């Protein structure tokens, strides 16, 4: 895997004054964690934005500060959603010999026979899972093979995954990653539910009429 590097410099400007940094093309950030206290830093906004756009939450980012390299994970990114621009980034320095947890993107791979043979639709569950591992062992994505989904209603749960012993998934083992279903099946379930509600309403109406009749008789 290619090493991802970003250059940083310490900054004195904090608080609302960081707007000045952004106008000057700099991205305010904070670096903290293993071997370093909370330190305010600034990075080239354009270069860093381009670099982080290609990186995953589990990607190791090497921050170069004062000539020293710090292996980090991006823990938070603040955005200006109107301008689609980064406002601030939090980098956590990690120890390469200690396990850490990070969110890893789920990628469905393969073809489900239920889709090709029975016209089912493939529905994805979790888009990402939390994985614990040594920083260097964290995958950029977790590939989930759906080729074993042969029938409509078949699922892939976290407990079904065969992972390296270097990785541990922290989510509920019964969490769903993928399932095969049909539109017709969903419509049928909706209709059944609707009919059941109509039946309950009808029974309620009949009961109300009966009570009204009894009251009239009294």
How far is residue 138 from each of residues 35, 104, 134, measured CA to CA in Å? 21, 8, 7
Say whether both 111 and 73 belong to one domain. no
Q: Which tokens go with 175? A: 């969490």
Instruction: Please tell me the distance from the alpha carbon of residue 21 to that of residue 10, in angstroms, as a whole number.
Output: 12
Per the DSSP assignment, residues forming a β-bridge with 100 are 133
Residue found by looking up tokens 């990628």 in the block = 107
Q: 170-194 pLDDT, tens per residue?
A: 999 999 999 999 865 554 455 455 5
Does residue 193 lie in a domain region? no
Q: What is the pLDDT of residues 47-67, one digit of tens each?
A: 999 999 889 999 999 999 999
Domain harbouring 49, CATH code: 2.40.240.10
The DSSP string of 3-25 is PEEEEEEE----GGGHHHHHHTT
Q: Do 41 and 119 sit in the same domain of this protein?
A: no
Residues 12 and 70 in one domain: yes
Shared-domain flag, residues 53 and 121 = no
Distance CA 156, CA 151 (A): 12
Total domains, the chain: 2
Question: For residues 127 and 106, what is the distance between their CA atoms, to the nearest angstrom?
Answer: 5
pLDDT confidence of 201, banded at 50, 70, 90? Answer: low
Q: Could you identify the residue written with the tokens 């960081």?
A: 18
SS3 48: helix
Comparing CA positions, the residue from 131, 133, 135, 109 lying closest to residue 122 is 109
């Amino acid at each position: 895997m290619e090493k991802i590097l970003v250059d940083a410099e310490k900054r004195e400007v904090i608080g609302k004054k960081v707007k000045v940094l952004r106008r000057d093309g700099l991205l305010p950030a904070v670096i903290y964690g293993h071997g370093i206290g909370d330190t305010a830093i600034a990075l080239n906004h354009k270069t860093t934005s381009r670099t982080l756009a290609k990186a995953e939450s589990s990607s190791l980012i090497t921050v170069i500060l004062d000539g020293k390299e710090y292996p980090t994970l991006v823990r938070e990114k603040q955005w200006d959603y109107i301008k689609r621009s980064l406002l601030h980034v939090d980098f956590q320095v990690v120890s390469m010999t200690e396990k850490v947890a990070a969110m890893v993107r789920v990628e469905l791979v393969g073809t489900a026979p239920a889709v090709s043979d029975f016209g089912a639709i493939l529905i994805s569950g979790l888009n990402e899972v939390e994985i614990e591992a040594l920083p260097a062992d964290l995958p950029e994505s977790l590939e989930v093979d759906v080729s074993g989904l042969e029938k409509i209603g078949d699922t892939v749960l976290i407990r079904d995954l065969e992972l390296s012993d270097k990785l541990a998934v922290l989510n509920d083992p019964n969490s769903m990653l993928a399932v095969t279903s049909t539109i017709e099946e969903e419509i049928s379930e909706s209709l059944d539910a609707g009919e059941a509600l109509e039946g309950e309403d009808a029974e309620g109406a009949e009961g109300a009429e009966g009570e009204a009749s009894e009251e009239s008789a009294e």
